[in-house]
Chains A and B, each alone.
Chain A
């Protein structure tokens, strides 16, 4: 049996797409870590500009180092993030020279209603908080809309929804 990394359903060996959620089980092993690989089509339309600024390189995982990760459910992209006091989530805007720490533009962020400055993750004393930055389409934590500018605590496995884009929050280490 294999476990779908997206919805955790048990699937028969040899399954190509999860019968429960439709996610690809082929890419389950090598986790995608760059925007470029996530969905070729979107990347092609966005063309040219390879945005290296958006994905922070995954830290070399020293066992005692904490890392957090955001998994974009629709694309399966796993964004591994270093622990810093604050991580801005949104959509890049090259004209205004605006680059958030986590850029969701290639995950269909625009269509999904992700604002340029949508939300941030704050790390304080080893715990994590999610704050909506007054986004147009709201931020939801485990399906509950959170009030803007009111940080709420995040836990491993929480489901964050930015506009319409679903992302799972994971803590490792």
Chain B
């Protein structure tokens, strides 16, 4: 049985007594320690949905084929594999089947050629169909989508297909390569807790990222992870964001008075997870107070409906203001700084779209400052360059924009450091 470690670090461990509400940040770090006994892993039901439009010709497609074959070798005999390609139309290249006739499957993969345009929706639909055909009741269902171009006119359908699949427990990893693909679409497709996006900056990374994703799916040790946050009366949970392994906002629902829940999705053991919350603390008298109670609840894979629970609380002292130092925890500040940079760049693109170029530039510049201070020097430079470009030409470059969007979230190329 795995053990879960829940650690809460507040931005300040002692608060000044105040008549006014004040803000407290808390970093929640979740880590899993599988004991000596390895969890029985759930079989994977995998479908690759690959863009084979003409722009994929050459190294990109070559790398994709190689990656597909390597993935096949990672799968066990009881796992299912399928491969769908799309250009102007979609085609099932490898129908869903147990990963057994490997030589034959590899032959089919190697025959894929690049040609034509990009029409994603049909490809997605066929991919979902193949996953459902595999009929594996207890498995991790995953669709890996890779594209390098824009799909025109069927974006709405893509999102609909993705939502239907996600509601049935099919997670989607949406991978974009190059600078032409539509990041808004991919992000919308992956905007569910069991899905994610990734930006692949060069063809050479394809194999690494594909196989890393399959390995993550192979060591999921907790499914449907739910977090419940209870605050003292009149307290308010202002926001909850994931900051590790990558940054992204988590929708919260106020389920009862001063109690919120959030769905965190499936949890691969290799991912160190960290969340950052903003808590509005009500005026409290001098003394020690339980500021936060966390309950983590998840399904244990492969067991019949067994759930596991973990609890942790945070106690904070409230003292006379002149006894309280104004220091903040550096780790909390670091992750908050990265989160603020991510939020600033997101609002910058929105401002740019509304034609508010100076506002957008200002936000990008501030994002750059935050990144500098957080030690993300290279990314800060990219942000500065795009801010200059935006102000001078009214437009950011497609590549810079992607680098910033995915870089601030921690979703570029390099795998998450553990």
Contact = CB atoms under 8 A, between A and B. Distances in A.
A36 to B, nearest CB: 14
A41 interface: yes
B171 interface: no
A105 to B, nearest CB: 13
B375 A164 contact: no
A14 B358 contact: no
A14 B365 contact: no
A145 B194 CA distance: 49
B361 interface: yes
Interface stretch (B11-19, B49-57, B200-208): B11-19
Given A143-B358, A166-B365, A22 B370 contact: yes
Contacts of A40: 372-373
Nearest to A140: B358
B137 to A, nearest CB: 46
Nearest to A1: B20
A75 interface: yes
B11 A12 contact: no
B368 interface: yes
A113 interface: yes
Given A39-B369, A39-B372, A41-B375, A12 B363 contact: no
A141 to B, nearest CB: 13
A14 B336 contact: no
B11 A41 contact: no
B23 A13 contact: yes
A135 to B, nearest CB: 13
A72 to B, nearest CB: 10
A26 B224 CA distance: 38
A118 B215 CA distance: 55
B387 A164 contact: yes
Interface string B318-360: 0000000010100001001100110110000000000000100
B7 interface: no
Interface in B384-400: 384-385, 387-388, 391-392
A16 B22 contact: no
A171 interface: no
B19 to A, nearest CB: 10
B373 A41 contact: yes
Contact of A13 (B20, B25, B372): B20
B372 A164 contact: no
B375 A12 contact: no
B106 interface: no
A68 B75 CA distance: 69
B115 interface: no
A98 interface: no
Contacts of A164: 361, 365, 387-388, 391-392
B280 A74 contact: no
Given A17-B340, A17-B370, A112 B15 contact: no
A41 B337 contact: no
Nearest to B365: A74
A42 interface: yes
Interface string A60-95: 000000000000011110000000000000000000
Contacts of A113: 388, 392
Nearest to B329: A16
A64 B222 CA distance: 68
A159 B387 CA distance: 18
B368 A74 contact: yes
Contacts of B336: 16-17
Contacts of B381: 111
A21 B366 contact: yes
A39 B20 contact: no
A23 interface: yes
Contacts of B328: 16, 26
A15 interface: yes
Nearest to B341: A22
Interface string B4-40: 0000000110011010111111000000000000000
Nearest to B376: A41
A1 B21 CA distance: 9
Interface of A: 1, 11-17, 21-24, 26, 39-42, 45, 73-76, 108, 111-113, 137, 143, 161, 164, 166
29 contacts: A12-B21, A12-B23, A13-B16, A14-B15, A16-B328, A16-B333, A17-B336, A17-B337, A21-B363, A21-B366, A22-B340, A22-B341, A22-B369, A22-B370, A39-B372, A41-B373, A41-B380, A42-B372, A73-B366, A74-B365, A74-B368, A75-B369, A112-B387, A112-B388, A113-B388, A113-B392, A137-B392, A161-B358, A164-B391
Q: List 7 A-B pairs, minimum CB-CB distance, nearest first.
A: A14-B23, A13-B22, A12-B23, A74-B365, A14-B22, A41-B372, A22-B366
